[in-house]
Amino acid sequence: MQRLHARYPFLSAAREAVQSADVDLVALVREGGPAVERGVERVRRALLEGTAESEERYGARAELLSYPVARVLVSLLDAPGATEKYARAEAALAQRRFVADFAEERSLRSGGETLSLGDLLADFGLSGDVRPTGDGQFDVAVAAYLRLSSGLDGEDWRLVRRRLHDGVVPVDNAELETLLREAVRERVAEGLPLTVPDPIAEGLSEAVGQLRTAVADADPPRSFTGRMEPGSLPPCMHALLDRSRDGEDLPEHSRFALVGFLATFDDLDAHDIAAIAGLDDPERVRYQLQRLRDDRGVAFAPPSCATMQAYGDCVNQDDLCAEIAHPLSYYERRAGEPSGAEEDATAD
Ligand code: SF4
């Protein structure tokens, strides 16, 4: 059971396990230790990378207790959108785990420490709302469907686009898993932000400070005014510019990162960006810009360092790279430095 609680700390049984263990949260946060470390990691990775997954192995107790610690941390952080981002990341992690568990259950390889679909539905009070109809299809009661799909993007989730009969909406296996992820997201977000007693807040003040710094970097500037300073560009953008100017047809993610980065400079239009990057298709750049800038011309943030790393676009890191989490933060920091910003490294 411990493993199950550690993997799904939002389940009712896991919450009861924490309560019955009678853990002194004040002592726990004062002492620090693996549960607090993992709690900090849960929030940091959720906000910066969109996942609450751990990079290290923690014991079941630390995993389980790190969840309430993380809920406290995200409450103390009090940053715009933090609660929602955190809940999404926890839900995404849960989905990855329950999809694997359901597959194990179906293959009858389960050793009893996996979560079954029936258990998950029961925990969320959905047993009466979801009925398997065979071949990986399910009928979901319309009220439950509407509630769980309300936060999902995409026309296909709208009720007018679905077959509706006898008060149920048919969904396939993958859609059901998405709806269950939404149920987890709802539960994780429930009650957040918490009102945190002073002794607990004091015990976590250092961790909250670290998270604040990380979040500030993760919420990079969305636009720059004035001329772009080529000498302040991060190494990854230098590299992408070089490749593009050499005539390489960049992969879509690399092109998106480069154009998205340049789109944050207010005075660059599609023609300018195409010229800087050596792209011979300004119309395609114009189309990308339309998608990247909102009605007021403010650009959506291009990929973070974590995403750039995942795609292999983070290259030639320098010392400043170790201190930031976003290429735009790099530029902001470098351009704000008193000297060296004017040196012309790449552009004409
Ligand atoms: S760490 Fe960030 S800014 Fe530095 S090269 Fe990698 S992606 Fe670019």
Interval 126-177: pLDDT, tens:
999 999 999 899 999 999 999 999 988 778 999 999 999 999 999 999 999 9
pLDDT-derived band at 343, boundaries 50, 70, 90: very low
Percentages helix, strand, coil for the chain (3-state, rounded to 5) are 60, 5, 35
67 is in an annotated binding site: no
| 278 phi, psi to nearest 5 deg | 65, 30
Among candidate residues 259, 240, 266, 237, the one with its CA nearest the CA of residue 326: 237
In this predicted model, which residue has the larger pLDDT, 44 or 226? 44
Question: What is the 247 CA–ligand 1 centroid distance (Å)?
Answer: 22
Whether the bond into 193 is cis, omega within 30 of 0:
yes
**Can you tell me the distance from the alpha carbon of 41 to that of 55, in angstroms, rounded to the nearest whole number?**
9
pLDDT higher than 80, residue 323 = no
Residue 193 is encoded by which pair of tokens?
Answer: 């932000």
194 is in an annotated binding site: no
pLDDT-derived band at 345, boundaries 50, 70, 90: very low
Instruction: Write down the pLDDT at residue 218.
Output: 65
Question: What is the 42 CA–ligand 1 centroid distance (Å)?
Answer: 22
pLDDT higher than 90, residue 196 = yes
Instruction: Write down the pLDDT at residue 344.
Output: 40
Instruction: Write down the pLDDT at residue 112.
Output: 62
**Can you tell me the distance from the alpha carbon of 138 to that of 153, in angstroms, rounded to the nearest whole number?**
21
> What value, to the nearest 5°, has the Cα angle with vertex 215 and ends 14 and 238?
130
Instruction: Write down the pLDDT at residue 340.
Output: 40
Instruction: Write down the pLDDT at residue 152.
Output: 87
Instruction: Write down the pLDDT at residue 242.
Output: 97
Q: Is 140 helix (H, G, I), strand (E, B) or coil?
A: strand
21 is in an annotated binding site: no
Q: What is the pLDDT of residues 79-96, one digit of tens each?
A: 767 888 899 899 999 999
Residue 165 is encoded by which pair of tokens?
Answer: 């009969």
Calculate the CA 270 to chain-centre distance. Answer: 29
**Can you tell me the distance from the alpha carbon of 46 to that of 93, in angstroms, rounded to the nearest whole number?**
10
pLDDT higher than 60, residue 338 = no
**Can you tell me the distance from the alpha carbon of 140 to that of 168, in angstroms, rounded to the nearest whole number?**
5
Question: What is the 308 CA–ligand 1 centroid distance (Å)?
Answer: 7
Domains of the chain in start order, with CATH, are: 2-213 (1.20.930), 222-335 (no CATH)
Task: Work out the average pLDDT over 229-244.
Answer: 96
Instruction: Write down the pLDDT at residue 114.
Output: 87
pLDDT-derived band at 341, boundaries 50, 70, 90: very low
Residue 134 is encoded by which pair of tokens?
Answer: 């065979």
Give the mutation target among 48, 217, 232, 236 for probing the ligand 1 site: most ligand atoms within 8 A of CB: 236
Pocket of ligand 1, beta carbon within 6 A: 234-236, 305, 308, 314, 317, 321, 327, 330
314 is in an annotated binding site: yes
In the sheet that holds 137-141, the strands lie side by side as: 130-134, 137-141, 168-172
Q: What is the pLDDT of residues 278-316, one digit of tens each?
A: 998 889 899 888 877 766 666 677 888 878 887 899 999
